[in-house]
Amino acid sequence: MDNKQKLKIGWFSFTCCEDSTILLTEMLNRHLDEWKKVIDFQHFKALKTNNSIEGLDVAFVEGAISSELQEADLKKIRENCKYLVTIGACACTGQPSSSRNAFMPEEINYKIAFYMCHFDYSKDVQKISDFVKVDDEVNGCPMNPDIFVKIVDKYLKLFNII
């Protein structure tokens, strides 16, 4: 089976602890043999050096958006995929990554102030659907692996691959 018959997916991480990336890597111990027959992991920086976002069928996005640069990258991903699925609570709801939005001024100590001054952060951390259309969600902290498998199956069927 060549790549034309595979689901072209991308996996992307924004502001978060990347636990769903670690979880997916663990899941590959069980699912890789089955998935590599039907899935082209076209963009997956945690596992690959050469990555491309062009012409993706499904983009899986974990993490929240905390800078204008991330916002631009997210919009570029959306332009290059047919479907976009948010992965984990940070991407689906903003929390817990967006907990800093609720900091009171007296809680902004010198450490936090240092990071806010020296990196190009937005005032608020926001969820993915605040910026782009989201087609499906795999919520959980980290993501619920059973729902992730169901969503993967859903798109494999939608694209007539299985």
Report how many residues bind ligand SF4 under the rule CB under 6 A. Answer: 13
62 forms bridges with which residues in the sheet?
A: 13, 87
Least distance (Å) from ligand SF4 to the CB of residue 92?
Answer: 8
Q: Are strands 56-62 and 39-44 parallel, antiparallel or unpaired?
A: unpaired
38 or 141: CB nearest ligand SF4? 141
Least distance (Å) from ligand SF4 to the CB of residue 46?
Answer: 13
Q: At what angle do helices 145-158 and 19-35 cross, to 10 degrees?
A: 50
Task: Give which of 84, 67, 86, 76 is closest to 125, Cα–Cα.
Answer: 67
96 binds ligand SF4 (CB under 6 A): yes
From CA 73, how far away is CA 83, in angstroms rounded?
16
62 binds ligand SF4 (CB under 6 A): yes
From CA 99, how far away is CA 95, in angstroms rounded?
6
40 binds ligand SF4 (CB under 6 A): no
Least distance (Å) from ligand SF4 to the CB of residue 94?
Answer: 9
10 binds ligand SF4 (CB under 6 A): no
The helix, strand and coil proportions of the chain, stated in percent and rounded to the nearest 5, come to 45, 20, 35
Least distance (Å) from ligand SF4 to the CB of residue 63?
Answer: 6
Residues that bind ligand SF4 (CB under 6 A): 16-17, 19-20, 62-63, 88-90, 96-97, 141-142
